Amino acid sequence: MSLRRILLSWTGAALVAAALVPVGAHQATAAAATAKARAAATTLYASPGGNGASCTLAAPCSLAGAQQLVRALAPAMSGDITVDLRGGTYQLSAPLSFTPADSGSNGHTVVWQAYPGEKPVFSGGRKVSGWQLYDSGKGVYRAAVPAGTQSRQLFVDGVRAERARSAVNPAGFTVTATGFTTADPQYLSWSNPAAVEIVHLNAWKELRCPVTAITPAAGGGSAFTLAQPCFGNGGAPPYPSGYFPYNGGGSPGLDTISWIENNYALLSAPGQFYLDSAAGYVYYIPRAGENLSNADVELPTTQTLVSLAGTPGHLTPVDDTDHSIAYSGSSWGTSSGRTYGDLGDDVHYATNNGDSATITFTGTGIDVLSEANNDEGGIDVYVDGVLDRTVTANRTAERLAQQVVYSKTGLSQGTHTVRLVKKDNTYLLIDGYVPITAAIAPVHDIALRGITFSYATWLGASGPDGYRDNQAGVTWTGTPAVAGRVGAAVQVSRGQRIEISGGTFSHLGGTAVDLANGTQDSTVSGNRIYDTSGSGVSVGEFDDFYLADPALMTSGDTISDNAISYVGQEYQDCVGILVGNGRNVTLAHNDIAHVPYSGISLGWGWGWASTNGGDRHGTIYSRGNAITGNYVHDVMRVLNDGGLVYTLGGQGDGSVHSTFSGNVLSTCTAASAGCHGVYLDEGSSWWDVGGNVVSQPAGNWANMWTPTIHDDTLHDNYSDVTRLYNNGTNVPITNMTYVTGGAWPSGAQSIVAAAGLEPAYKSLAIPEADLVDDGAVGSLLAPGTIAYTGSWLSYSGRDYGDLGEDVHATTANGDSVTFSFTGTGIRVLGERSSDQGTLGVTLDGTAAGTVDTSTTGARQVQQPVYRTCPTAPTPSCSASSPAPTPPSTATNWTRRSTTPTPRCATAARGP
């Protein structure tokens, strides 16, 4: 028989339950982390129902009352001020907002923390009750909410509901200049069409645009008109010339439909909901076992739960064509389309000495943007009519665009002028300026410890900008397009020495934590982050690459020992940890898993900082960053062209290297080979990549595909995959160890032992199953091994969606595969198809039934073909999972509180 007819495909995998986590271990970790605060000089108390005035334990204050008292005490601090938060839910209709006035002083910290042994929850959710059966035929229930209520999520007993949506890839749609048309007229009858969204997953992007109208199409059918500027930025993406460096021309774009979302007519399956905001109703189809009369149903309505904001806010460049710049002299001219990377793709220039440009701005400082080149010269700079100093834009090396030629801070708040006078050489060039709109005054020395943050939403995607992804959750908004991003439950802007530790972030409609706008020396540590619509943690900006003043840069931040999983539940281009431009940012000992796109994404700018990246060339202030000791696994579950760890753009001038070491990177489940282990993408430079373990990526263990990737060093790494692509410039690879048969050397074992959450934080990882790929024959990276007996062969690149992009298969009856594992249950992933057959199963040497893996219809990959459950089923091993009916000895294992006894399950190909 041919292989095609009788393929027995063990597509990779045992899914093995992890060890149990003792109840209360997470709370104990949080309490230990706050030991320092317990010795604070002043302790105040707040509670959800508090209304006291002095914030005592007997009469706690509200959050607002405690904040007011802290502000009164903070200027004269002689020790830390601690606000102990009693357990319960703090319902927030607006953010708890901290400014510099709430900051610590005299070297001390203001600590907001969980009262020992209790769980304070900051919630932005509105409880929904009063459900009534609305449509018995569809099983739809309805509940009233205030008209105008806005949200994009619904959670029922802590489980995320799905917005009503169509089938995947609806047929018959054609893209037009304004949206899409279809010959199907059914959509004309839809009520509230302006709430509908069109969604498209394309390569590494998720694109969402709201519908503004559904009208009769010419010739019959329905015409969907999509919102602007969303469709202009997403349907036919412009080259965002005003804001280099960005990603090419923005392709791929929103040119087809993956599904249609958010209309009552689309409600079709249990677990789906629809919010009619204008009418004030929520509609929901309950899942099996849900009772809406007593369920906790939460509709998130608050976008940010805690805001910590210093000044200035986001820095926005002003183009040289703006009316705030006056040009004096006869030689001024303009030039556009030079392809050098000018702001707005244009510049003003003067050739006569003495000609000048005067910038009038409001704020406390300014960065003036020019270019650095050998035909530029000296510039006399006057501030408010007084000569400040002489600067030069002359550079003998290659031309650099968007360079800060003059910087001034510390001015009094108000309106100022800066006059730049050409002194010598050929040109004075003005490309624009960046006003520092307020004094540099960070919010600082505040700690949030042991707090749970839940049920926040983010409404940005519902507006006219929609969700036009550029990459990794960075979006294009406005016209011309500028950088946007998903909002966060805890939003830090211009912070210093902010600590967010020991908390839980769950059931969120955006990102969990965002350290934005030049936040420095701050930490996000020891948190459990899961079930977010956006990323886990975001750090830095994506359009401040030009900065020359360290006081304004993102720097010194540390993201460590966080358990981050199941992020990107709504915006599937989002990642576990996202870092834009930054210096000395450290990502260490995080456990990142089950992500739709890349696990970690660090850097921005493509080939902007590379000398061989084309004419558009400038600098990026990033350098000295570190990605060390992380365990990243099971990523790229939905999108393509990413990696377990992905880097982008330049890391300085080589004077300081960035470090990529001690990481364990295991398993990409992308539907194609577009997921790599170490992915140094365009412009990645000056990375020292050493001492990492890479196992079972679908693509290459390391991927450097273009010459703009330069001056990186890869050494002393380990992988059980030999696939490698190195087209970088000066990117040597030395002392590489390739592992076969699971024989990981001691050096790799030491790296694995040290990676991931450190011992004090191990309990943060959510107990769940681990995927073991069919090629993972060693025990180093997962709690199991796979051994093949007989005439098995390995096949890769079938493009069916196999786990790890490969399978093992045999054609011989009687051949067997043995899974040896430690745990309380196992799920085996195989393939169901018409060419599959019957398997005989034994468990620990005892017959455990048979499994028929044949089916009619389309081939189904990564299908559970055999499973056992522990005595208490987990989400990874539930009654809803496909399963055979083996004897009870296979399903009734005893859960152990100590290390479980090793088990052995064998499956043999039957007749």
- Residue of 766, 826, 908 whose CA lies nearest to 25: 766
Helix (H) or strand (E) holding 443, with range, is: strand 443-449
CA distance 823 to 18: 7
Cα 169 from Cα 156, distance rounded (Å) = 28
pLDDT at 16: 29
- Of 828, 904, 891, 890, the C-alpha closest to 862 is 828
Which of 911, 902, 699, 731 is closest to 819 using CA atoms? 902
Whole-number Å distance between alpha carbons of 22 and 830 = 33
Residue 594 gets the label, from left (phi > 0), alpha (psi -120 to 50) or beta, of left
Q: Which amino acid is at 902?
A: P
Question: Would you list the DSSP string of 506-569?
Answer: EEESSEEEEEESS-BS-EEES-EEEEESS-SEEESBSS-TT---GGGS-BS-EEES-EEES--S
Residue 826: its pLDDT value, please? 80
Contact 183, 220 (CB under 8 A): yes
Cα–Cα distance, 502 to 447 (Å, whole number): 11
Residue 244, strand partner residues: none
52-78 pLDDT, tens digit per residue, is 999 999 999 999 999 999 999 999 999
For the record, the structure tokens of 685 come out as 């430079």
Tell me how far apart the alpha carbons of residues 838 and 851 are, in angstroms, rounded to a whole number: 6
- The DSSP secondary structure of 571-582, one letter per residue, reads STT--SEEE-B-
Measured between alpha carbons, how far is 592 from 765 in angstroms, rounded to an integer?
9
pLDDT of residue 822: 67
Q: Would you call 881 exposed, middle or buried from its count of C-beta atoms within 10 A (0-12, 13-18, 19+)?
A: middle
Let me know: does 513 contact 456? Beta carbons within 8 Å: no
CA distance 597 to 605: 19
Low-confidence ranges of the chain (pLDDT < 70): 1-40, 234-251, 669-673, 767-785, 794, 796-797, 799, 801, 803-805, 822-823, 869-911
- Reference 514, options 588, 456, 572; nearest CA is 456
Distance in angstroms (rounded) separating the CA atoms of residues 146 and 281: 8
Enter the DSSP assignment of 64. H
Other Cβ atoms less than 10 A from the Cβ of 523: the count is: 19
Instruction: Determine how β-strand 432-436 pairs with β-strand 318-319.
Output: antiparallel
Cβ atoms of 717 and 694 closer than 8 Å: yes
Burial 732-747 (b: 16+ CB within 10 A, else e): ebeeeeebeebebeee
3-state secondary structure 673-721: CCEEEEEECCCCECEEEECCEEECCCCCCEEECCCCCECCEEECCEECC
Residues found in the chain? 911
Give yes or no for a cis peptide into 707 (omega within 30° of 0).
no
Q: Which two tokens stand for residue 630?
A: 């992380």
Which uninterrupted H or E stretch holds 27? Answer: helix 25-33
Cα(455)–Cα(213) distance, integer angstroms: 30
Dist. CA 827–CA 903, nearest whole Å: 13
Phi, psi of 534 (to 5 degrees): -105, -150
Alpha-carbon dihedral 115, 116, 118, 119, rounded to 10 degrees: 70
pLDDT of residue 891: 25
User: From CA 536, how far away is CA 565, in angstroms rounded?
Assistant: 8
DSSP state letters, 730-782: S--EES-EE--TT---HHHHHHHHHSSS-GGGGGGSPP-EEEE-TT--SSSSS
Contact 366, 417 (CB under 8 A): no
Q: Report pLDDT for 344.
A: 87
Amino acid at the residue 890 = A
**575, amino acid identity:** V
Q: What is the dihedral of CA 445, 451, 452, 457, to 10 degrees?
A: -30
Bridge partners of 240? Answer: none
Provide the token pair at 821: 């594992």
CA distance 478 to 242: 12
User: Counting runs of H as helices and runs of E as strands, what totals does the chain give?
Assistant: 7, 78
For residue 549, CA distances in Å to 327, 404, 603 come to 26, 9, 19
Q: Compute, in degrees rounded to 10, the torsion defined by CA atoms 592, 596, 597, 599.
A: 0
One-letter amino acid of 871: T
Q: Collapsing DSSP states into helix, strand and coil, what is residue 215?
A: strand
What's the Cα-to-Cα distance from 228 to each of 193, 205, 823, rounded to whole Å? 16, 19, 53
Give the distance from CA 725 to its chain's centroid: 26
HSE, CB side, 13 Å, CA atoms: give it for residue 14.
32
Q: 845 is written with which tokens?
A: 């040497």
Contacts of 243 (CB under 8 A, 6+ apart): 343, 480, 481, 482, 483, 543
Q: What is the rounded distance in angstroms from the CA atom of residue 429 to the CA atom of residue 425? A: 11
Q: Is 117 left (phi over 0), alpha (psi -120 to 50) or beta?
A: left
Q: Is the peptide bond before 245 cis (omega within 30 degrees of 0)?
A: yes
Per-residue pLDDT tens over the stretch 846-903: 888 888 888 877 788 878 888 875 443 333 333 333 333 322 222 222 222 223 333 4
Q: What does the alpha-carbon distance between residue 499 and residue 356 come to, in Å, rounded to a whole number?
A: 47
**pTM for the whole thing?**
0.87
User: Residue 208: what pLDDT?
Assistant: 96
| 144 vs 131: CA distance, rounded Å | 8
Q: Hey, what's the torsion of the CAs at 447, 452, 454, 458, to 10 degrees?
A: 10
SS3 at position 820:
strand
| Residue 248 in tokens | 């090419």
Question: How do strand 591-593 and strand 631-635 relate by DSSP bridges?
Answer: parallel
Q: Which amino acid is at 357?
A: A
**What pLDDT is recorded for position 785?**
65
